[in-house]
């Protein structure tokens, strides 16, 4: 099941929605990954986030190599996108999976926190690498994208678990 989730995440990452003129966009890969991770609760979500990030990087490099001339700068740009998945997975694991507090974060809040954290890690690494992809992206557009993704994830989880009743619960 974990390999299927990683492959679906990588394929879904090829579908992206641009936000504004800054070159910032969000892909459907993270939506597929977090929805499946939340529903199926894999044993090693952080390892899955690392593998999904690398799979997204590889699939995007292969896909774009078919239409444009791939170079090291563009390939390293895709590698930095993998760190978004890693950062998201780490914060998701901390905020959702291992959170045992009496008043846990609502799922949307935890997902927005995870998304913003993943974006912050990617942004920081891009800044260190002197990439100017986010130079014109505002914090507001990043937070709006995080909120939109998080709401979509929560709606998908609700539809899959409560409406479709999947995965089916075994009755005794």
CA quadruple 15, 18, 19, 25: dihedral sign: positive
Q: Is the pLDDT of residue 140 over 70?
A: yes
Distances (CA, A) of 73 to 70, 76, 83, 129, 131: 8, 5, 16, 10, 9
Kindly report the pTM of this predicted structure: 0.86
Pairing of strands 24-27, 16-19: antiparallel
First CA to last CA distance, the chain = 25
Distances (CA, A) of 136 to 20, 21, 124, 132, 140: 9, 8, 15, 8, 11
Residue extents of the structural domains in the chain: 2-163
CA distance 57 to 85: 10
| Res 150: pLDDT | 93
| Res 17: pLDDT | 77
Q: Which residues contact 72 (CB under 8 A, 6 or more apart)?
A: none
* Mean pLDDT score of the chain: 85
| Res 1: pLDDT | 85
Cβ–Cβ under 8 Å, residues 156 and 46? no
For 10-68, how does the pLDDT look when each residue is reduced to its tens digit (9 = 90+)?
Answer: 999 999 877 666 556 778 999 999 999 999 999 898 999 999 999 999 999 999 888 88
- 93's tokens: 């694991």
Q: What is the DSSP letter of 67?
A: T
For 62-93, how does the pLDDT look when each residue is reduced to its tens digit (9 = 90+)?
Answer: 998 888 887 887 788 888 889 999 999 999 99
| Res 132: pLDDT | 63
């Amino acid at each position: 099941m974990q390999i299927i989730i990683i492959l679906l995440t990588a394929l879904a990452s090829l579908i992206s929605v641009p936000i504004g003129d800054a070159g910032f966009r969000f892909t459907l890969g993270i939506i597929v990954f977090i929805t499946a991770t939340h529903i199926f609760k894999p044993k090693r979500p952080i390892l899955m986030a690392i593998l999904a990030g690398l799979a997204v990087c590889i699939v995007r490099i292969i896909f774009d190599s078919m239409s444009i001339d791939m170079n090291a700068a563009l390939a390293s740009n895709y590698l930095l996108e993998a760190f978004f998945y890693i950062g998201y997975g780490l914060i998701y694991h901390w905020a959702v999976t291992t959170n045992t507090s009496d008043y846990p974060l609502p799922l949307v809040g935890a997902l927005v926190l995870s998304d913003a954290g993943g974006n912050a890690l990617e942004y920081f690494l891009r800044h260190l690498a002197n990439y100017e992809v986010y130079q014109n992206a505002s914090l507001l557009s990043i937070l709006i994208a995080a909120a939109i993704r998080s709401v979509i994830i929560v709606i998908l989880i609700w539809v899959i678990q409560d409406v479709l009743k999947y995965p089916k619960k075994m009755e005794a």
